[in-house]
């Protein structure tokens, strides 16, 4: 029985979890692969889990800071590639799916399963995104991925598109890729906490079961419950995202009733762990969402594999029965492969907790890349090259989106690239009477650099480079607000210093040149914005203003709920199209002084 069949039965209120025979990949044989006598004479079955998370379509080896992993010991990684955390030290350059494939093969034995914790697609480089991430899903099939939780980015193009990717068929607008009709994935995206709105029916399979040498292992998928605040409202229309622990416990109880006692949660939610700690110590000093989930899940669940925060950690939490339970995460972009070894008691069918061992291993580039996967990557790179290499315009210097947030005293979260994108959206929305444009900083993924990345020449901006800046395909929209609503919207911006370290967390909207205002961080939340001006004229509470923003923000994304207080929506071009048109029309472009927001600190 497939997971999709299981989903239909669960939605009808009756389900049967069937084991699926494990496909054996060429690998090293494991000692005691059919069970041995250990753990006080119990006959056990060894299981090895390999996991990844937050690949984000990075088929090619990532570059720059996205390629780096820091060794916790302050030196280059050990010869075995071990990584227990991230701390100050020397960089190891890591990632690239052809290297990942080699590391997976080297770690495999006949009792190995490859699983993941979401965001495998979405916010992807053009090599994958040009064909709606079908290239990444094809490669993951070649790697032998058994199952994964959904991540928030799996919903970037909407629920219907996620179903198409799972089930097959050509894209409804762009048609088939150069590879022909998409056949669908050989694995499911799991989400036990995503329901059809107003019902108790699962929108995606809640779990997946595999049988290994006569014992069943159940994988329960979860996506962060905050998904509605970080993806477009249209993309998740008709779906309900519920609290993670309750949803997992419901699925766990169902698995237990069916005799599946060995259970693993794959959750796209994680922590920011203090680096370089032992597994026993790192869970006690965080109250983040991932740690909470790992502590509160019912004791039947033996292991938690997490994602979302792009951190590398191996931690332990104490479950409600007082037992240690590992929870892990493997960085992002294919730079880390998490390896977890455990024993399952053949009599009880459950995991022996004391047998669990977990480690994060760097996906080094010192191994020979897998030739089959490398061929796939180069094929898709060639297919996307014509799109990527098209020249759009020019810049006179680096145009950065980088914010130095090392301290409240030095941070200035308005950036030249943020200004440029806001200006491009205002230009694209003038046909609808837009007077101001606002852009969420999280939607700006990288800077525009003056130095050439290929052979295009210094200062030349290609479509591929522009795509890396804005990969989400959001739509530029316009709505009408009052001056009072604009102030209330700007007051929803976040500026929170950490009194212990001086570092700050912030969410400051990037603004078009038509808007200026003062943001006084010394004043209480809700009273920080003043001196709002539209083209140099003070804004009154009662005047009407047409504001342009992407549909993510218009849906209340990033907590900006004031955007939802107007509904006279005009929809224009995709944000990337607005950006590329502006670059072409205004080149060469110089970086702005980023002085539209006056910060008082």
Weakest mean pLDDT among 71-75, 277-281, 396-400, 535-539: 71-75
DSSP 8-state code for residue 17 = -
Strands 262-268 and 301-306, sheet pairing: parallel
Other C-beta atoms lying within 10 Å of the C-beta of residue 268: 33
- Alpha carbon separation from 302 to 219, 325, 354 (Å, rounded): 10, 6, 11
pLDDT band at 601; cut points 50, 70, 90: confident
Burial status of residue 48 (CB atoms within 10 A of its CB: 0-12, 13-18, 19 or more) = buried
Rounded CA-CA distance 496/507 in Å is 9
Cα–Cα nearest to 304, from 356, 250, 348: 356
Q: Which residues are within 8 A (CB) of 164 and not within 5 positions of it... i.e. 6 or more apart?
A: 171, 172, 182
pLDDT of the residue at 271 = 87
pLDDT of the residue at 440 = 95
Whether residue 422 has pLDDT greater than 80: yes
For residue range 13-64, list pLDDT tens digits in order.
333 333 322 222 222 223 333 445 555 567 999 999 999 999 999 999 988 7
Structure tokens at 65: 């800071």
At residue 151's C-alpha, the angle toward residues 135 and 299, to 5°, is 130
| pTM confidence score | 0.78
DSSP 8-state code for residue 77 = P
Q: Which residues are within 8 A (CB) of 385 and not within 5 positions of it... i.e. 6 or more apart?
A: none
DSSP 51-62: EE---TT--SPP
- Average pLDDT, whole number, for the chain? 87
Consecutive H or E run containing 256? helix 244-257
DSSP 8-state code for residue 16 = -
Strands 597-600 and 515-520, sheet pairing: parallel
Cα–Cα nearest to 505, from 588, 405, 579: 405
For residues 78-99, average pLDDT? 63
Other C-beta atoms lying within 10 Å of the C-beta of residue 557: 24
For residue range 280-297, list pLDDT tens digits in order.
777 666 678 999 999 999
Three-state DSSP class for residue 441? helix
Phi, psi of 202 (to 5 degrees): -70, 140
DSSP 8-state code for residue 175 = B
pLDDT of the residue at 280 = 76
Consecutive H or E run containing 504? strand 504-507
* Angle between helix 289-296 and helix 244-257 axes, rounded to 10 deg: 30
Cα–Cα nearest to 220, from 202, 234, 200: 202
For residue range 534-580, list pLDDT tens digits in order.
999 999 999 999 999 998 999 899 999 999 999 888 988 889 999 99
pLDDT band at 278; cut points 50, 70, 90: confident
pLDDT of the residue at 32 = 38
Phi, psi of 585 (to 5 degrees): -80, -30
Cβ(48)–Cβ(112) below 8 Å: yes
Cα–Cα nearest to 107, from 139, 77, 144: 144
DSSP 8-state code for residue 242 = P
pLDDT of the residue at 407 = 57
DSSP 8-state code for residue 292 = H
For residues 119-136, average pLDDT? 93
For residue range 318-369, list pLDDT tens digits in order.
999 999 999 999 999 999 999 999 999 999 999 999 999 999 999 989 999 9
């Amino acid at each position: 029985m497939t997971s999709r069949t299981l989903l239909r039965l669960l939605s009808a209120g009756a389900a049967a979890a069937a084991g699926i025979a494990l496909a054996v990949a060429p690998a090293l044989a494991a000692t005691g692969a059919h069970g041995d006598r250990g753990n006080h004479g119990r006959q056990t079955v060894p299981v090895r889990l390999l996991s990844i998370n937050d690949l984000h379509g990075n088929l090619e080896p990532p570059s720059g800071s996205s390629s780096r992993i820091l060794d916790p010991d302050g030196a280059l990684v050990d010869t075995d590639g071990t990584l227990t955390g991230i701390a100050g030290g020397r960089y190891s350059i890591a990632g690239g799916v052809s290297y990942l494939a080699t590391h997976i093969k080297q770690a495999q034995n006949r009792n190995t399963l490859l699983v993941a914790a979401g965001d495998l697609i979405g916010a992807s480089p053009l090599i994958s995104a040009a064909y709606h991430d079908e290239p990444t899903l094809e490669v993951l099939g070649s790697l032998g991925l058994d199952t994964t939780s959904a991540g928030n980015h799996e919903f970037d193009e909407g629920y219907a598109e996620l179903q198409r990717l799972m089930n097959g068929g050509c894209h409804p607008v762009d048609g088939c890729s150069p590879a022909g009709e998409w056949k669908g994935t050989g694995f499911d995206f799991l989400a036990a906490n995503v329901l059809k709105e107003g019902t108790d029916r699962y929108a995606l399979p809640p779990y997946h079961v595999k049988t290994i040498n006569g014992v069943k292992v159940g994988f329960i998928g979860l996506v962060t419950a905050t998904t509605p605040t970080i993806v477009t409202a249209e993309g998740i229309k008709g779906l309900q995202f519920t609290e993670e622990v309750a949803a997992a416990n419901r699925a766990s109880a169902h698995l237990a009733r069916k005799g599946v006692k060995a259970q693993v949660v794959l959750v796209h939610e994680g922590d920011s762990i203090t680096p370089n700690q032992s597994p026993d110590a790192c869970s006690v000093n965080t109250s983040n969402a991932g740690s909470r989930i790992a502590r509160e899940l019912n004791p039947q669940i033996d292991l938690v594999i997490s994602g979302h925060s792009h951190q590398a950690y191996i931690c332990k939490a104490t479950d409600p029965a007082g037992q240690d339970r590992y929870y892990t995460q493997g960085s992002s972009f294919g730079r880390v492969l998490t390896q977890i070894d455990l024993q399952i008691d053949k009599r009880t069918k459950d995991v022996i907790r004391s047998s669990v061992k977990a480690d994060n291993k760097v996906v080094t580039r010192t191994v020979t890349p897998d030739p089959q996967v490398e061929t796939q990557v180069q094929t898709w790179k060639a297919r996307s090259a014509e799109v990527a290499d098209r020249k759009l315009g020019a810049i006179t210097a680096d145009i950065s989106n980088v914010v130095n947030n090392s301290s409240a005293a030095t941070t200035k979260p308005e950036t030249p690239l943020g200004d440029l994108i806001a200006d491009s959206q205002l230009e694209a929305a003038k046909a609808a009477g837009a007077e101001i444009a606002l852009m969420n900083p999280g939607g700006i993924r990288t800077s525009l650099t003056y130095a050439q990345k290929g052979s295009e020449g210094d200062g030349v901006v290609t479509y591929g480079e522009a795509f890396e800046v804005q990969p989400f395909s959001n739509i530029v929209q316009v709505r009408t607000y009052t001056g009072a609503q604009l102030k209330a919207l700007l007051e929803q911006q976040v500026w929170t210093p950490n009194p212990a370290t001086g570092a700050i967390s912030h969410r400051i909207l990037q603004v078009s040149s038509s808007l200026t205002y003062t943001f006084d961080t010394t004043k209480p939340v809700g009273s920080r914005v003043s001196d709002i001006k539209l083209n140099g004229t003070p804004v009154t509470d009662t005047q009407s203003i047409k504001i342009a923003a992407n549909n993510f923000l218009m849906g209340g994304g990033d907590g900006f709920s004031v955007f939802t207080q107007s509904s006279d929506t005009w929809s224009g071009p995709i944000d990337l199209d607005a950006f590329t048109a502006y670059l072409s029309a205004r080149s060469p472009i110089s970086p702005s002084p980023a002085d539209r927001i006056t910060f008082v600190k």
